[in-house]
Amino acid sequence: MGVNFAVAGATAIDASFFSAQNITLWTNDSLNVQLGWFKSLKSSLCTTKQECDEYFKKSLFLVGEIGENDYNFSFLFGRTIEQLRPLVPQIVGAIIRAVSILIEEGAVNLVVPGQLPTGCISLYLTLFQSANESAYDPKTGCLKAYNALFKYHNNYLKQELQKLREQYPHARVMYADYYGASISIYRTPKFYGFYGGALTACCGGGGPYNFNTSTYCGQPGSTVCKDPSAFVDWDGMHSTESAYHYIARGLIDGGFISPPLLF
């Protein structure tokens, strides 16, 4: 049995922060709101502390991936990398607080994912394209500066997770390296069977990367590739099922979760 509290477009930081910055979100259901839902559900799963401890000992908590939308919406409303880099501690802090609360509520096994190489998705490649060749990684075609921001986020998150492990030695707090598990796909897509390429969306409204903000995937005028399994990028914002398959295998079998999952 599993329960998923995720909401499309949700942020790690509370919506009020973005409202104060005149940034419009898709939803107000931030990570803090989702934690509230978990607390409300908890009473239906177990009642006494002993019962809850036993129940959650056998449970795996996947905390995210969360935080990407904090960056996405900020970028869409004109913020720059230089402006967002100082926000990383606040975004990571919201994630760390959520993990801490879950441990206090009885969680013992928690997987906390880092960010994907979002500088590789067709939304970013379209909206932030550059005439400067040096802006792109020659091995992948991804935007270097944006991926550098997400690597900085990941390194900061790993540093803060280590502090949590020291604070809660009884809990198994695992870092899921989504970036590491996926970047090789962008470097050698054909090796993994992605003959449609890594950077062009399967479903979209045209343009160099088949992404168009006026015609999103599924809207009139958009097109869908014949074989999604040949593509890494599904709709400009999400990967295909085939790409996620390789990412999942990297996490479960490839050493991209630290410490590793126990079965």
pLDDT tens for 3-59 read 999 999 999 999 999 999 999 999 999 999 999 999 999 989 888 888 998 889 999
Q: Region 162-177: what's the mean pLDDT?
A: 97
Is the confidence at residue 193, as pLDDT, over 90?
A: yes
% the chain with pLDDT above 70: 99
Confidence of residue 73 (pLDDT cuts 50, 70, 90): very high
Helix (H, G, I), strand (E, B) or coil at 166: helix
Helix (H, G, I), strand (E, B) or coil at 239: strand
Question: What was the pLDDT predicted at 49?
Answer: 87
Question: What was the pLDDT predicted at 32?
Answer: 96
Question: What was the pLDDT predicted at 187?
Answer: 97
Is the confidence at residue 263, as pLDDT, over 90?
A: no
Q: Region 129-158: what's the mean pLDDT?
A: 98
Helix (H, G, I), strand (E, B) or coil at 160: helix
Helices 31-45 and 88-104, packing angle to 10 deg: 10
Sign of the Cα torsion 48, 54, 59, 65 reads positive
pTM of the model: 0.95
Is the confidence at residue 199, as pLDDT, over 70?
A: yes
Is the confidence at residue 105, as pLDDT, over 90?
A: yes
Say what the alpha-carbon torsion angle 181, 209, 196, 253 is, to the nearest 10 degrees.
10
Cβ–Cβ < 8 Å for 210, 198: no
Question: What was the pLDDT predicted at 254?
Answer: 87
Question: What was the pLDDT predicted at 1?
Answer: 67
Question: What was the pLDDT predicted at 2?
Answer: 84
Mean residue pLDDT of the chain comes to: 95
Query: What beta strand segments (E) does the chain contain?
Result: 60-62, 109-113, 172-176, 197-201, 203-204, 223-224, 231-233, 257-258
Q: Which two tokens stand for residue 3?
A: 């329960």
